[in-house]
Structure 1
Amino acid sequence: MLKLAASALVVLVAPPLYLMLDLAVVGRLGAHELASLAVSTLVLGVISTQLTFLSYGTTARSARAFGAGDRERAVDEGVQATWIALGVGALIVGVAWLVAPWVTGVLVPDDVVASDAARWLRIAVFGVPLILVSMAGNGWMRGVQDTRRPVVYVVAGLSVGAVLCVGLVHGLFGLPRLGLEGSAVANLVGESITGALFAWRLVREASGRLAPVGGVIRAQLTMGRDLILRSLSFQVCFVSAAAVAARFGVAQVAAHQVVLQLWEFTALLLDSLAIAAQQLVGAALGAKLFDDARKTSTHVTKVSAAVSVAVAAGLALGAGLLPRIFTSDQGVLDAITTPWWFFVAMLPIAGVVFALDGVLLGSGDAAFLRTATLAGALGAFLPMIWLSLVFDWGLAGIWSGLLLFMITRLGAVVWRVRSGAWVR
């Protein structure tokens, strides 16, 4: 389990680390360029986030086939997911290229920043089909429990992209100085290398079985629909939370964003364990080893809970010191105290929720997860966010909403796993 989780964690963490480098490199050009990069990567990130079903959904379906001893069918799930990736990716390229100036103009009022962001986006968006191919590749390779190649492919592509980013933005290593556009070119090349490596491996594994199969594609898209709705509910909630926090003042929104970034980083750690749960539970169910699947769900949940408790303890002990890593502003430090303790209290709950999410995804129970997440978002998180604005509850109200959201999800997934319906 830890081997699978470690592989997933590297793949999950590598893109944010690359983005941090990209921001640091472009930031030396000036504030306008940095703002343009922030806007354009936000748009590209939102697009990619909504299509993670190509990874998570494919893992679940591929793992069950692999567990049943049918590696060919497991790889074929990757073939069909790759067809979806190429089709959807081509559509996104066409639409995004046309609407990029309008989208960036809506997001930022500064005409120069919006124009530069649109130029960046119009270059980088051509890498979207291969970004989606990489997602599909991660999905089927996780399904067949190939832990090494995804790490190699992702690190190889992003390493080349990182060197090109430094070189093309500032004209180093004998490369032309392209400024902000150099960042877009580096992003495009790096993502394309990773996607091409995943595609090359798929072609070798599939051994000529590369034709699209309508029935499998429809089944994957059905699962994808549920996962997209689930992902959209997260996006709406967190965007709403940021918008409301901004209305409480500069210190409050800064404090909210600092703790939220820590939450997102911790989520990557817990998500890697959830992905391991997907792989192991899917394989066990595919092999009809139902008791093994149940034992795996229990074991993964215990490990994830233990990890989250350990992280929460570290954050609690470092409450007086850790926030100072991010800011020296006393107003922000005072405001951080409230969301910080909500975050600490929420982590043990999150450890169980993430693990059981992985278990249910491994069983293909995406429709239930969609419904449970929407119920928590619409019934708990969003109402608390907007009530916080109406009654001036501040960050305490916003983070109470997130805590209620996690508690709602906890009750739903625990009930589902205890019911045994996921095994069937």
Structure 2
Amino acid sequence: MNLSHVPRLLKLAGPMILSTSAITLMQIIDAIVLSQHSSEAVAAIGPAGMAVILFQGFLFGTAGYAGTFVAHSHGRGDARGVCSSAWLGIHCSLASGVLALATAWPLAQLFHLAGHEPLVAANETSYFFICMAGSFFPVLGSALGGWLSGIGRPAQVTGVTFLSFAVNAVLAWGLVLGEWGMPRLGIAGAALATVAAQAVAALLYVVLFLKAGGYADRVARRLDWTEMRRFLSLATPMGLRISGELAAWTLFLVVVGRLGTVELAACSIAFRINGMAFFPALGLGQAAGVLVGHARGAGRDDDIPAITAQSLVVCELWMLAMAVLFAIASAPLMAVFAGSGADAARIVETGSLVMKFVAFYCLFDAVNVMLGCVLASAGDTQWIARTFFVCSAVFLCLLWLIDRIAPSLVAEWTLATGFVFATALIWSLRFRAGEWRKIEVIADAEAPVPAHIASGEATT
């Protein structure tokens, strides 16, 4: 099989894996540090962190779609289009920041209605409010990170991401535990550390953008409402699909939790372990999306099936390796996170069963992730969003029926695996139908400007 697109795919994928994992990895750092602070803080960061990702997922998905516009413009050699596309993401980030700041406090109060212990609810409220109020920084970082990826400069994304990790780790240790003369703020310190790290990353992205001449073209940075509406018509469904997917799997965990604490703990750990497979696959999918954007922008739609097929082979090989690991080493993997409490042995036993399902559906999830990214980069976001919401509604209705009629871990995970398989099949059929070829992502290119803006090189 011809693998001509694989080297470029792998070059792009590494930084994107880090980028997609950034928030989750920061929350893992926070959880480790908070374990040295209090059990209430550890309990709070799980639901509060999930809620942050759920709400910010919509903002990320929308503003970050600017990277697709950048990739299309870069592929067609439209330097001004590259700059204008990046500014679409910046303008969207500003609006997202204002929206998140306005809704952070009322949304945070909902944790007091969840029925958790008062101290846990207070910690959840504090963490969510601070992270949500600071949403502008990670959303701006997502938009400008998409600009760098879209012009083929992923190494800089890697550098910024590593630095933000370092800032988060140092500040989390100091602000949570009161080390190095810093105030002891507990979970609020963890949230402040995360926002500060995201702000540093956003600032670095802005510096890189300015050095590349991103502010030099007044026409490119001007807000064009016609183009913004066009952008939002494609980007908003992408943001809704991301939030919808997070909501569906969160509700799945809620229903599984009705079976018992051991089942909930086992499934929560299984999802965390699954991240070892999912985030690299997502990075591969996003890298394939950039290649698709370049090809579509250059008018090479006939290259896209080959790009997709080769990228899917790489993703399937990765998922196959992880599926084998999950199947043969499920118990040791679960034991790492199960702790040493009275229920540890039951959690490991239950989790080992769950990991067999995870190992099986990983093979379908490769198709899900890859074709979802390819279709989105080709501009088919509205159809993806509508179809996914229908599939999710059917999934959740069947899950509710199982919970009411014959609740069991095996039945619920069988349904979840079927859901993953069904969406993978639907995405495959949609891609093969070729409807994405009829979608125009960006308008006709405008007059060219200096090439350094498109290439990301600094001005002289």
Query: Normalised by the shorter chain, which TM-score bucket?
Result: over 0.9
> Do the aligned residues in 2 keep the contact of 1:81 with 1:217 (CA within 8 Å)?
no
Residues 372 and 201 of structure 1: is their aligned pair in 2 closer, same or farther, counting only changes over 3 Å? same
1:284 and 2:299 are equivalent in the alignment: no
Q: Establish whether residue 338 from structure 1 lines up as the match of residue 349 from structure 2.
A: no
1:70 aligned to 78, 81, 91, which one?
Answer: 78
Q: Is the 8 A contact 2:104 2:133 kept in 1?
A: no
Distance 1:236 1:124 in 2: 19
Structure 2 alignment gaps of length 5 or more: 1-8, 439-460
User: 1:71/1:226 Cα in 2 relative to 1: closer, same or farther (>3 Å)?
Assistant: same
Counterparts of 2:182 and 2:263, CA distance in 1: 43
Q: Aligned partners of 2:317 and 2:196: how far apart in 1?
A: 40
Q: Secondary structure at the match of 1:321?
A: helix
Residue identity matched to 1:160: V
Partner residue in 2 for 1:248: 259
Q: 1:154 to 1:312 in 2, by over 3 A?
A: same
Q: 1:39: how far off?
A: 4.4
Q: Deviations over 1:180-207 (max 9, x none)?
A: 3332332222111111222233334322
CA contact (8 A) 2:263 2:347 kept: yes
CA distance change for structure 1 residues 378 and 185 in 2, over 3 Å: closer, same or farther? closer
State the TM-score, normalizing by the size of structure 2. 0.86
1:423 aligned onto 2:437: yes
184 and 214 in structure 1: CA distance in 2 versus 1, 3 angstrom threshold = same
Runs of 4+ aligned structure 1 residues displaced above 6 Å come to none
Deviates further, 31-40 or 395-404: 31-40
Amino acid at match of 2:145: N
Q: Which residue, 368, 381, 391 being the options, matches 1:376?
A: 391
Does structure 2 conserve the Cα–Cα contact (< 8 Å) formed by 1:101 and 1:114? no
Work out whether residues 291 and 307 of structure 2, in 8 Å CA contact, stay in contact via their aligned partners in 1. Answer: yes
Task: Choose from 90, 108, 114 the match for 1:107.
Answer: 114
Partner in structure 1 of residue 239 of structure 2: 228
Distance 1:319 1:123, change over 3 A: closer
- Alpha-carbon distance in structure 1 between the residues aligned to 2:300 and 2:421: 30
CA distance in 2 between partners of 1:418 and 1:91 (Å): 38
Give the match's secondary structure for 1:364. coil
- Paired residue secondary structure (2:135): helix
Q: In the alignment, which residue of structure 1 is the partner of 2:327?
A: 316
CA distance in 1, matches of 2:195, 2:333: 35
Counterpart AA for 2:61: F
Distance in 1 between residues matched to 2:330 and 2:118, nearest whole Å: 41
Q: Matches of 1:321 and 1:188 in 2, distance apart?
A: 34
Partner residue in 2 for 1:404: 418
1:116-135, CA deviations, whole angstroms, 9 ceiling, x for partnerless residues? Answer: 44344444444211111011
Where does residue 150 of structure 1 map in the other structure?
157
CA distance, structure 2, for counterparts of residue 101 and residue 234 of structure 1: 21
Q: Which has the higher contact order (CA 8 A, sep 6+)?
A: 2
User: How far apart, CA to CA, are the structure 1 residues paired with 2:155 and 2:249?
Assistant: 33
Contact 1:338 1:395 in 2 (8 A): no
Equivalence for 2:30: 22
CA distance in 1, matches of 2:352, 2:187: 37
Check if 1:163 corresponds to 2:170. Answer: yes
- Are 1:293 and 2:304 counterparts? yes
2:21–2:279 contact (8 Å) kept in structure 1? yes
Letter in 2 for 1:60: T
Q: Partner letter of residue 339 of structure 1?
A: V
3-state DSSP class of the match of 1:51?
helix
**Residues 301 and 351, structure 1, Cα contact 8 Å, conserved in 2:** yes
Q: Which amino acid aligns with 1:143?
A: G
Cα distance between partner residues in 1 of 2:217 and 2:38: 50
2:182 aligned counterpart, secondary structure: coil
Map 1:132-281 to 2 at 5 A.
132-204=139-211, 205-206=213-214, 207-209=216-218, 210-281=221-292
Per-residue CA deviation, residues 50-98 of structure 1 (Å, 9 max, x unaligned), is: 222235522222111111011331231111111111112112112213x
1:320 offset after TM fit, Å?
A: 4.6
1:331 Cα deviation from its structure 2 partner: 2.1
Query: Could you state the TM-score of these two structures normalised by the residue count of structure 1?
Result: 0.93
Q: Which moved more, 1:84-93 or 1:277-286?
A: 84-93
1:352-400: CA deviations, max 9, x gaps? 2211112111211111211231232122x21331122122241222212
Distance 1:307 1:135 in 2: 25
For 1:55 and 1:344, how far apart are their aligned partners in 2? 33
CA deviation after TM superposition for structure 1 residue 2, in Å: 0.6
Output the CA distance in 2 between the equivalents of 1:66 and 1:414: 27
CA distance in 2, matches of 1:399, 1:163: 39
Query: 2:16 is matched with which residue: 8, 22, 43?
Result: 8
- Map residues 37-52 of structure 1 onto 2, 5 A cutoff: 37-52=45-60
Q: Give 1:257 deviation, angstroms.
A: 1.5
Percent identity of equivalent pairs:
21
| Contact kept? 2:238, 2:376, Cα under 8 Å | no
Distance in 1, Cα, partners of 2:108 & 2:285: 38
CA distance in structure 1 between the aligned counterparts of 2:154 and 2:227, rounded to whole angstroms: 25
Residue of structure 1 equivalent to 2:101:
93
Post-superposition shift, 1:100? 5.0
Output the CA distance in 2 between the equivalents of 1:45 and 1:360.
23
Q: CA contact under 8 A between 1:360 and 1:422: conserved in structure 2?
A: yes
Aligned residue type for 2:52: L
Q: How many residues align?
A: 422
1:212-237 residue CA offsets vs partner (Å, 9 max, x unmatched):
12122212221233123322332332
Superposed CA RMSD: 2.1
Aligned 8 A contact 2:44 2:121 in 1: yes
- Give the whole-Å Cα distance in 2 for the aligned partners of 1:184 and 1:106: 21
Q: State the shift of 1:105 in Å.
A: 1.0
Contact 2:253–2:264, Cα closer than 8 Å, also in 1? yes
The answer to whether structure 1 residue 305 and structure 2 residue 316 are counterparts is yes
> Per the alignment, in what secondary structure is the counterpart of residue 31 of structure 2?
helix
